[in-house]
Amino acid sequence: MRLRPAGVLFDLDGVLVDTRDAWFALMNAAARDLMCPPIRRDAFDESWGQSIAADARQFYPGHENEVVSLYYERHFEEHVEHLRVEPFAAQLLERLRERGLPSAVVTNTARRLALQILELAGLGPPLLVASDEVARPKPAPDLPLAACAALGLAPREVCLVGDSANDREAARAAGVAFVGFGIAGDHSVSNLDQLAALIGLVSV
């Protein structure tokens, strides 16, 4: 069954780009430079999708959110060799524009770093709503609700595509349909081609 959304919200990391290995390398570099214990892969995987504030509490005790955020921003590009753009991401965003379907990126990453990642990936969404622009990051509903307001759409008209439990909880709290990218949701897809078919951008 197809979705017929009036707008599409995308999580950034894990949906439009695969930065998991880049983040793992970056966060361990931060742990080293901030004199904190190394981050195990299982702990990193369990934390995936959480906010920078949560990272600071879990992995960098004694360091303020701003210190961690600034470290991430200044050093992410050192690990860019691990960044992978999801196949069809640029084409999908362009096809949404051609069809007149507004889209936005809603991410727990801070705005300046999110813009840096999008630039490195060669992606240019019409709207970005980042964690430092709302009161509460995902899993709270603030990010998708802010994006809906900016797009001029009601939550029931929108779907959010995400790859983490934080995305799913934020979507449900906001009242938007959740499309799980490799995880369970109201609908689930494993790649962006399947998403394009689900929302009626391509024939199946």
Same domain, 123 and 184: yes
Same domain, 74 and 101: no
Q: Is residue 203 part of a domain?
A: no
Q: Is residue 2 part of a domain?
A: no
Low-confidence residues of the chain: pLDDT under 50: 204
Specify whether the CB–CB gap between 146 and 116 falls below 8 A.
no
Q: Is residue 153 part of a domain?
A: yes
Same domain, 188 and 113: yes
pLDDT of the residue at 87: 86
pLDDT of the residue at 204: 46
pLDDT of the residue at 203: 53
pLDDT of the residue at 144: 98
Question: 13 vs 36, 66, 86, 181, 201, CA distance in Å?
Answer: 24, 20, 10, 11, 22
Specify whether the CB–CB gap between 52 and 136 falls below 8 A.
no
* pTM, entire model: 0.88
Same domain, 72 and 110: no
pLDDT of the residue at 201: 83
pLDDT of the residue at 125: 64
54 lies in which domain range?
A: 20-82
- The three-state secondary structure class of 4 is coil
In total, how many domains does the chain have?
Answer: 2
pLDDT of the residue at 200: 87
